[in-house]
Amino acid sequence: ISHAGLPTHRGSVRGKRWEAEKVLRPTAPFPVQVKKMGELGLLAMDVPEEYKGAGLDYLAYSIAVEEISRGCASTGVIVSVNNSLYLGPILKFGSEEQKHQWIAPFTSGEKIGCFALSEPGNGSDAGAATTVARLDGDEWVLNGTKAWITNAWDASAAVVFATTDKALKHKGISAFLVPMPTPGLSLGKKEDKLGIRASSTANLIFEDCRIPKANLLGQLGMGFKIAMQTLDAGRIGIASQALGIAQAALDCAVDYAEKRTAFGSPITKLQAIQFKLADMAVALEGARLLTWRAAMLKDNGKPFTKEAAMAKLAASEAATSIAHQAIQILGGMGYVTEMPAERHYRDARITEIYEGTSEIQRLVIAGQLLKAYRG
């Protein structure tokens, strides 16, 4: 794997950090900032220029999502979902006509997309989809409910997974491109969440929702494969979001500890504080290297399922731990909204849950290890 472009990649996103710290953190009006991010190429980073994308690679994308999430984790996941979960599967599995229709309008910030896989009764069991799609002439008719859909209230299209042949179980799931709004599709309530509160999350409810036959993404019965490969890439995005949250929490802890005095000197003179900061930094850097490795494997066309799972597992658990320790270092000030530490703690927690829980990541990693061992 070539690391030659890394300094350039890091330099190219310094401006993104400025945007996150100076613009997103103080204000964060959703529509305005999404439009601005589109103008900067942040909503379609690895999409080729022929489809109006930035034409960059996944390493650049990973670094950008981290820097954005350092300022605002909600904005980070909005960017991640549009890049990885919405545009990603269309770019990989879509026809040329679908790419021009469903990618190009979603690169500028005028529109964003979402990804509808989870259901009220199946989160980790993605192969047990109860949402169904049946062909009626030249139209697919969708019925069912999708749950926990990020960007739901702001999206103009969704990649939706539905069962087309129940007898085939997970091999009978197909993927569809659904415009939003469209007749037969309604939104559930906007969820009142612990963290990432500026990002909308809601159910998608399909009641005899009709879409053109041409809106099938990939081949019939390919939906589960599309979903799993899409989540591999998406986990790099969530790992990057977690890195940004973790870095922000560490920054907050260091800044406070340098200014806070106890026993006549800054508390950074205390070994207990130094040990906490050291452990936080090691966990962060280790997770960052795992994330970059997964991104570079993807960029080089190498298998990266295991590495993406490792990156997400390490980064998400590091983010939660670092945010926890940041609050401990701040003491009472870490528990109040006057300081950002409590927000980092709330934002970090979701990274261990969505796009595959930590338990699922461990299953994926173990499965890949055993597969390699058994030949």
Residues belonging to the active site: 355
Using CA atoms, how far apart are residues 365 and 375, in angstroms rounded to an integer? 16
The Cα angle at residue 240 between residues 48 and 50, in degrees rounded to 5: 5
- Host H or E run for residue 174: strand 173-179
Residue 372: half-sphere exposure toward Cβ, Cα within 13 Å: 8
Helix %, strand %, coil % of the chain (to 5): 55, 15, 25
The encoded tokens of residue 178 equal 């659904």
Q: With contact defined as beta carbons under 8 Å apart, do 90 and 177 qualify?
A: yes
Q: What are phi and psi of 109, to 5 degrees?
A: 100, -10
> At residue 139, what is the residue type?
E
* Residue 239 CB neighbours (<10 A): 35
